[in-house]
Amino acid sequence: MKYKISRAVSFLALMVCLALAWLNFTARLRSESFKLWFLIFSVVYFVAAAVSLGEKSES
Amino acid sequence: MALDLSGIAARMDRLYEFDREPVTPDKFKRGVLFASVFAGEHVAATEFVIGAFFVLHGLKAIDMVFGLLLGNLLAVLSWTFLCAPIATSTRLTLYWYLRKIAGSGVTLIYNLANAFLYCILAGAMISVSATAVGLAFGLKVPQLNDVFPGSPLWVLICLGLGLLFTLLAILGFEKLSRFAGVASPWIFLCFIAGALVTLPKLGLRPDFSNFWEVATAKIWNGIATAGQQQFGFWHVVFFAWFCNLAMHVGLSDMALFRYAKKWTYGFYSAFGMYSGHFLAWLCSGIMVAAIGREMHPGKMAFEALGLAGAVAVMLAGWTTANPTLYRAGLALQTVTGWPRWKITLVAGLVTSVLSCFPLFFMKLLDYVAIYGLVLMPIGAVVFAEHWIFPKLSIPRYQAETGKQVFNWKVLLVWAGSLIFAFALPLHLYFRWLPGYLFALAFYLVLNLGARRSPAKKAPA
């Protein structure tokens, strides 16, 4: 269960990163804000992906 | 001191013992695994450099797009029709198959050549990472034609990163390689996002209505940067084709495809080619155009994505250098017999010193061409032995049956076809194909004398 959740979170974080880039491309998000949020969701991705990796190897 | 060849061969065999036996059907893998391996492996730090160099070499947009489409298709077909059929028919790695054909001595030379080439590639990747780390220190990145390091800071950063990467490679390849698997989807996303947010800076409208105009005027405008050779359609086609020459035509991906249920799994290589060697190359081209065509991977990603971009370049450099260092260590371990940590440390130190020389990073395209060219004749030898020898009634695996350490014919073909290829009055990128055909023909001619007579072939 934990594996599925962390996997879903990591996938969602990637999708959010892509959506942020789209918002910046369409001028709905300023560059500075985009870079900050992109970094935050990248960290979320790595944490969730690392957790899912750990869970997978345990199972 | 005499070289103890039999001892080295025995150590080499022990090292690769785990994959000595052909893969059994219960170990076959699903196609999706091949797709993910290819997609992960071919989105690396080199992509930040190669796509950018195509812009600097003055490619036109139309040549870039169609050249990459065709070149990558040829690469996929090479995996599918050359590498995968031999792998699924033998279920062996190239190491063990080559050992039967060429003997343990030639396999040793092949391993050493591979290790040396791996070290240079890892060194170039450390240099790429150094451009990202250097942003924090205001580092001036070497110029396109620089051979020697231009500043003590560059040397310090390269050596520091090299030592760090080496230490990580020694500490735990297994866990780190799994982490690299986690990083690759994010790095690919960084390419896409970086290009997307860069496009408006080049004048693209949000509805993409002027995309082709921007692509042809601002990115791939057909004008080479000063000092860079002008490239055209065929340069791109051949580069995309030979970029992984050692893996497909050179057959080193037999190690992967021996787990495939059928040879058609070679088509899964398209997932790596069209994500990494098409989209990622286009994206890095877009990013470099926005920073005034300066060969500075760290800066181009930082300008697009901020700190995350710089981290992406550093991570991409590390995730490429890490397995490369590991493989170099493995190959060298067979010669020295030292423990893996010690030989990885030595390989890492050599690599770190190499990374200080911007030559390998700034001439990455040429290096990739030479890398493939050097290992390609072995692929031709194995191809001839596997498919053509039975048709011509030439006995196979002469090294194994004759218990030879060196199959001199293989060595002669290897050296001869390299001399032939390097002597050809052609651009470096176009030499491998005639070289490959020469190697095939030369190996067949050398072995024609060993043909069995029909009576021997079909004994009564």
What distance in Å separates the CA atoms of residue B263 and residue B244, rounded to the nearest whole number? 18
- Hey, is the C-beta of B206 within 8 angstroms of any chain A C-beta? yes
What distance in Å separates the CA atoms of residue B344 and residue B328, rounded to the nearest whole number? 7
* Residue among A14, A18, A25 minimizing CB distance to B199: A25
Q: How far is CA B213 from the centre of its chain?
A: 34
> What's the whole-number mean pLDDT along residues B391-408?
93
- Hey, is the C-beta of A17 within 8 angstroms of any chain B C-beta? yes
Closest CA–CA distance from residue B400 to any residue of chain A (Å): 40
pLDDT single digits (tens) B143-182: 888 889 989 999 999 999 999 999 888 876 666 667 777 8
| Confidence at residue B455, expressed as pLDDT on a 0 to 100 scale | 53
Chain B's closest residue to A12, CA to CA, is B186
The CATH code for residues B29-363 is 1.10.4160.10
Half-sphere exposure of B132 (CA within 13 A, CB side): 26
Whether residue B18 is predicted with pLDDT greater than 90 in this model: the reply is no
- Hey, is the C-beta of B315 within 8 angstroms of any chain A C-beta? no
Is residue B292 a contact partner of residue B226, using CB atoms and an 8 Å limit? Answer: no
- Cα-based angle B82, B42, B320 (whole degrees, multiple of 5): 120
Round the average pLDDT of chain B to a whole number and report it. 90
Q: Which of A6, A14, A18, A25 to mutate to test the interface with B (most CBs of B within 10 A)?
A: A25
Tokens of B138: 């205001």
Whether residue B57 is predicted with pLDDT greater than 60 in this model: the reply is yes
CB atoms within 10 A of CB A58: 8
Whether A38 sits inside 8 A of B305 (CB atoms) is yes
- Hey, is the C-beta of B390 within 8 angstroms of any chain A C-beta? no
* Residue among A14, A20, A50 minimizing CB distance to B185: A14
How far, in Å, are B155, B168, B180, B343, B420 from residue B460 at the CA level? 72, 62, 59, 55, 44
pLDDT single digits (tens) B63-72: 999 999 999 9
Closest CA–CA distance from residue B183 to any residue of chain A (Å): 8
* Residue among A26, A31, A49 minimizing CB distance to B182: A49
Chain B's closest residue to A32, CA to CA, is B306
Whether residue B335 is predicted with pLDDT greater than 80 in this model: the reply is no
pLDDT single digits (tens) B20-43: 678 888 889 899 889 988 888 888
Is residue B166 a contact partner of residue B345, using CB atoms and an 8 Å limit? Answer: yes
- Residue B348 pLDDT level (bands cut at 50, 70, 90): very high
CA nearest neighbour of B398 among B445, B451, B345, B355: B451
Q: Answer left, alpha or beta for residue B426, where phi above 0 means left and psi between -120 and 50 means alpha.
A: beta
pLDDT single digits (tens) B228-279: 999 999 999 999 999 999 999 999 899 889 999 999 999 999 999 999 999 9
Is residue B325 a contact partner of residue B136, using CB atoms and an 8 Å limit? Answer: no
> In B172-296, which ranges are continuous DSSP H helix?
173-198, 211-214, 233-242, 254-257, 270-274, 281-289
- Hey, is the C-beta of A25 within 8 angstroms of any chain B C-beta? yes
Is residue B273 a contact partner of residue B186, using CB atoms and an 8 Å limit? Answer: no
Which residues from chain B sit within 8 angstroms of residue A24, using beta carbons? Answer: 196-197
Amino acid at B262: K
Residues 6+ apart with CB under 8 A from B158: B126, B127, B130, B149, B352, B355, B356
Interface pTM, i.e. ipTM:
0.96
Is residue A25 a contact partner of residue B196, using CB atoms and an 8 Å limit? Answer: yes
| Confidence at residue B93, expressed as pLDDT on a 0 to 100 scale | 87
Domain boundaries, chain A: 2-58
